[in-house]
Structure 1
Amino acid sequence: MAPTPTTFLVDGTAICTKRMNAGMEVQQLADTVGITANYLRKVERGDRTRMRPGTYVRLRAALKANKTELLAPTETPPERK
């Protein structure tokens, strides 16, 4: 079993889109997750890109998101031919 990462690299745009589609205001989601609205705004803008595991799990639960849809896309190295 893989160890839990110390932080998750999150996609602020995906978080913002999911929040808006859920009809939630920034303050409402921040209160639900247990973070400040200022922190959530910074995440959505991309000023903050990392999130601790507990916060990420609570955010996913509040937005009813799967394990990966709020994560930043990772670059995969090009295949060698």
Structure 2
Amino acid sequence: MKAPRATYEVNGAAIRKIRMSRGIPTADLARSAGISRSYVCRLEIGVRTRMRPATFARLLAGFESHGVPLEAQQLLAAGETDSE
């Protein structure tokens, strides 16, 4: 049996580009995802590059709550997959 995935490597530039293109303030995305604004900022500028699966799922849900349904692959770093 394969162990569950520990973290995902995300593409912070993609997170920022999508957020900004839709006019979503950082604080609003963070609030709807249940994470801090500073965490979103650190992801976007590349200080943080990895997320736990549950937090990553909340980020996707945060975008969706703003009418931006995304595939996980759109936010993952090159070569990263969301399969376990």
Task: Show structure 2 runs of 5+ residues with no match.
Answer: 64-68
Quick check: which one's helix share is greater? 2
Taking structure 1 as the reference length, the TM-score comes to 0.82
Paired residue for 1:78?
none
Question: Percent of aligned pairs with the same residue?
Answer: 39
Taking structure 2 as the reference length, the TM-score comes to 0.79
Q: Between Structure 1 and Structure 2, how many residues are aligned?
A: 75
Runs of 4+ deviating beyond 6 Å: none
RMSD, matched Cα: 1.9
Greater alpha carbon shift after TM alignment, 2-11 vs 37-46 = 2-11
Aligned match for 1:68, one of 73, 76, 79: 73
Task: Show structure 1 runs of 5+ residues with no match.
Answer: 76-81
* Equivalent-residue separation in structure 2 for 1:4 and 1:21 (angstroms): 33
